[in-house]
Structure 1
Amino acid sequence: MFLLIGLILISAVFSVSIGQVRIPFGQSMEIMLHTLTGGHLGSLEHVENQSFLTIISQVRMPRVLFALLIGMGLSLCGAVMQAVVQNPLADPYILGISSGASLGATFAILVGFGGGAFFSQMGVAFGAFAGAIITSIAVLVLSSIGGKATSVKLVLSGVVIGALCGSFSSLVIYFANNAEGIKSVTFWAMGSLASSSWDKVPILAVVVLLGCALFLLQFRVLNTMLLGDESAVTLGINLSVYRKLYMILTALITGTMVAYAGMIGFVGLIVPHLCRGLFGSDHKRLMPASLLVGGLFLLWSDILSRTLVHNVDLPIGIITSVIGSPLFIYMIVKKGYQFGG
């Protein structure tokens, strides 16, 4: 754990050092310390160019924090959803959250919400968040019809609602006579951290960190979910109630992340798998490990998205998919992980 924390700190300084303007590692560290501590630590005497301070403090540091928080959040939600639906292939988007967010964002970009000041200011973020939450509630209601919500009914309901939202998104795009809007929808669907800024960090940080703190304390229930409903009943735990609660909380976290950064795939699927192989299936160790590895993974994915092609900021979703797909195939072939006890 200490090694992972150290790697994250070093990677964060390296991330703010590279880009179209290269800044020496030592100077980047001084500027970061100065900015984060309000001038109490870190000296700016040896900074060669005052523009370095603006580049790091106003542009690159919010992006680094976005990468860490979203990586942590996606990994956390992935580990929780894999336990909730008892499926090692689950990720934060399996229950239709991605399709709902896409529909909301597509509607906001191509149709709009009218002339309200609130909607005009929030725009795509509000549309994506609202779509994710409404879709999650619809899945929850559908899976509860005819009895309690089980893991199988949740997955099936998510597939149905997700397909329905995908169809409506395609319908909106088909009838939209807006080439620029369609281009924006496509870029948003690939995921990007380019819109990161200091004014968005507090909301994202509060949602993700509160979610992390809550789920870190729920490791006993998450472990029980791996045993199945029958074993849980003998232990006096009603998994149906916890499934609904966890689903709503993960929808809130995922909806917030999707609203700010678009669709970033494979993080919530790959990272918990990787951590399960390294740290075991006990959620007491798995959850904090997933948080750290997820933050580190997305931080380096963002570094690659900014540096692979000169003067081009690639959508980060492309990078995570390119890295995640071969890794996931390798894990399936080698069966180098165990799910459950």
Structure 2
Amino acid sequence: MRKNALSGRGPAYLVVCLALLVLLGFSILAAVSFGTMSIPMGDVYRVIVYELFGWGDPAVWGSGGVHDVVWLIRLPRLVLAVGVGMGLSVCGVVMQAIVKNPLADPYVLGVSSGAYLGAVLAMLLGVGTSVFGGSAMGVLGCAGAFLVSLGVMALANLGGRANAVKLLLAGSALSAVCSGFSNLFIYILNDDHAASAVVQWSMGSLAGADWESNGVILPVVLVGTLFFWSQYRNLNLMLLGDESAVTLGTDLHRWRLVYLLVSALLVGFVVYKAGLIGFVGLVIPHVVRMVFGTDHKKLLPLSALLGAIFLIWADVLCRIVLPGNELPIGVLTSLVGAPVFVYLMARRKYGFGGGD
């Protein structure tokens, strides 16, 4: 297992964890003051204090335009950014361990193509709209991501037990199938409005955040993160390979499938509300590995915190970089993440641990 400068220093790791927690809290409190509508910072925090503790005049801070912008628009999308950033970063770490490939991300096994096909079916063919209404595209996207993951597992287990290579091949095959059907439906139906809506969804956005959906997504992400953190020993063994794990008394086959299902579930919930947001789960784990090595006991919580902080400020930039307009967050994360990833790839001794 690759170790870097701070990988074996417990105090340094704890200090960084505490610093990231403080930075996360500061980021939420600072980011809520940014937006297209100019609101005095004092008013922003008075609304939050009123909603949390009931302090203040309800006629002033419990209703009205300022209250709605701060409590119903800005703060929910920041909380969603925390959940999405955590979920994608943690799933990126897990996927890279499952397939033993540093180029893996949460969408590597065809999850994104399955989600995209689900969104296409909802928007162009009206599947699920009678039941889920305006949420049909997100729900079908979530279902598509999860069902494709099940298909990948079934395909990878044909002709023998699944391993990292077979999972990658099965994911590539199903991804191509889902992409092909999605493009076929878009071409045949020729509905410019629906196709535009699907493309917009695929670029990712936090604008649809609300407290009700956050109350589901954030707990699911936190529970999933804690589950994977409890599995750090098995994730470490996956980097050594199945043969080495068997000699140590652990059969990774069953665990690999369990982790894939849980990851697909987390990504599905993220996709449901935020669409497809790339590069977060690919780059954030690498940044953490460069400092702390590949021990998943440290890698998972640090990646979760850093991913949440990164997506908060990415959302802020999306809201202010184009005056009077909002840049899709998936576009911004790609513009930032791709150059960073190219730099990591170009490192002279680039490896799974990203060590120097």
Q: TM-score scaled to structure 1, two decimals?
A: 0.94
Structure 1: 5+ residue runs without aligned partners? none
1:39 aligned partner: 54
Matches within 5 A, 1:179-258: 179-258=192-271
CA deviations over 1:19-49 (Å, ceiling 9, x no partner): 11122334433433332x2426x888997x9
CA distance in 1, matches of 2:134, 2:267: 21
1:21 aligned partner: 37
Aligned to 2:318, which of 293, 296, 305?
305
2:81 is aligned with 1:67: yes
Deviation at 1:338, TM superposition (A): 4.5
Deviation at 1:191, TM superposition (A): 0.6
Matches within 5 A, 1:61-210: 61-113=75-127, 116=130, 118-120=131-133, 122-210=135-223
AA at the equivalent of 2:73: V
CA deviations over 1:92-148 (Å, ceiling 9, x no partner): 0000000000000011001012674x2335411221011111111110000001111
Contact 2:129 2:136 in 1 (8 A): no
Structure 1 pair 25/11, CA: closer, same or farther in 2 (3 Å)? farther
AA at the equivalent of 1:136: S
Aligned length: 337
CA distance in 2, matches of 1:336, 1:51: 54
CA deviations over 1:273-308 (Å, ceiling 9, x no partner): 001112221111110000000001111110111100
2:93 is aligned with 1:57: no
CA deviations over 1:47-73 (Å, ceiling 9, x no partner): 7x9532221111111000011100000
AA at the equivalent of 1:7: L
CA deviations over 1:314-340 (Å, ceiling 9, x no partner): 110000000001111111112576425
CA distance in 2, matches of 1:119, 1:27: 37
AA at the equivalent of 1:33: V
CA distance in 1, matches of 2:57, 2:350: 47
CA distance in 1, matches of 2:234, 2:248: 10
AA at the equivalent of 2:54: G
1:6 aligned partner: 22
AA at the equivalent of 2:122: A
CA distance in 2, matches of 1:43, 1:338: 57
Contact 1:277 1:338 in 2 (8 A): no
2:335 is aligned with 1:322: yes
Contact 2:117 2:178 in 1 (8 A): yes
Contact 1:223 1:282 in 2 (8 A): yes
Residue aligned with 2:159, SS: coil
CA deviations over 1:241-300 (Å, ceiling 9, x no partner): 011000000001101111111110000000000011122211111100000000011111
2:273 aligned partner: 260
CA distance in 1, matches of 2:40, 2:147: 47
Deviation at 1:206, TM superposition (A): 2.2
Q: TM-score scaled to structure 2, two decimals?
A: 0.90
Structure 2: 5+ residue runs without aligned partners? 1-16
AA at the equivalent of 2:75: M
Structure 1 pair 190/148, CA: closer, same or farther in 2 (3 Å)? same
CA distance in 2, matches of 1:231, 1:300: 41
AA at the equivalent of 1:126: V
CA distance in 2, matches of 1:137, 1:16: 39
1:276 aligned partner: 289
CA distance in 2, matches of 1:207, 1:172: 32
Contact 1:281 1:338 in 2 (8 A): no
Contact 1:99 1:162 in 2 (8 A): yes
Structure 1 pair 245/33, CA: closer, same or farther in 2 (3 Å)? same
